Amino acid sequence: MRVDLTVNGQTHALEIEPRMSLLDCLRERLLLTGAHAGCEHGVCGACTVLIDGAPARSCLIFAVQADGYAITTIEGVPPGPGELSPVQDAFCESHGMQCGYCTPAMILAAHALLAGNPTPTRAEIVEAISGNICRCTGYAQIVEAIALAAERLRGRNQPAAKP
């Protein structure tokens, strides 16, 4: 079946089987391997992508259902080649990861949160990543990283304070 997928601003015409999940399509056909395959039945959240800006599990939507939506993967997050987004930067700085398997999904969930809420409380951060399982960190540094990213994003384009 033919489908036109718009991923990270680029439209791809693909011929795929209806049973191919968006996740498999991203990984195998578009070689965007940042969305990770974990449980493949909607529990772990490792495959999270943004669909029209909202986090969604790419294992629970078939690629044939996804034409016409603006899909964002972790590869679409950095502002330029070799750069990191403020959220990615904050994850590095706070070491909000260990094995890295859940990290792209966590970062996308954080991006979606901060796009709509520049001043999230700790409870709102926890709620935003509640659909993403991390089996390494105990979440503490992930929550710290998102709070740090929120602070940085709020301060962006503000004049520097005078000494």
Partner 1 sequence: MKPAAFEYARPASLDETCAMLASAEDARLIAGGQTLVPLMAMRLARPKLLVDIARIPTLTFVREEADAIVIGAATRQCVVEHDSTVRAQLPLLAKAMPFVGHAPIRSRGTIGGSLANADPAAEIALVAVTLRATSICRDVTRTFDVAASEFFLGPMLTALPAGACLVAVRFPVWCEERVGVGFQEVSARASDFAFASAAAQIALDENGICRRLELGIGAITPCPLRLDGVAKALIGTQVEPGSVRAAVSAALATIEPLADLHASAEYRRRAAATLAARAVAEAYAAAKAAEGAHAR
Site residues, partner 1 (CB under 8 A): 1, 17-19, 21, 24, 39-42, 45, 48, 51, 54-57, 59-62, 64-65, 109, 126-128, 130-131
CB of 62 vs partner 1, minimal distance in Å: 7
Q: How far is Cα 23 from Cα 40, in angstroms, rounded to an integer?
A: 9
Q: How far is Cα 26 from Cα 24, in angstroms, rounded to an integer?
A: 5
Dihedral sign from CA coordinates of 128, 139, 39, 23? positive
Q: 90 or 128: whose CB is closer to partner 1?
A: 128
Q: 121 or 155: whose CB is closer to partner 1?
A: 121
Phi/psi for 71 (5° steps) reads -100, 130
Q: CA–CA distance from 117 to each of 7, 20, 30, 50 (Å)? A: 24, 34, 31, 16
Q: How many CB atoms lie within 10 A of CB 17?
A: 11
CB of 25 vs partner 1, minimal distance in Å: 13
CB of 144 vs partner 1, minimal distance in Å: 19
Q: 22 or 97: whose CB is closer to partner 1?
A: 22
Q: 30 or 51: whose CB is closer to partner 1?
A: 51
Q: Which residues contact 116 (CB under 8 A, 6 or more apart)?
A: none
CB of 37 vs partner 1, minimal distance in Å: 9
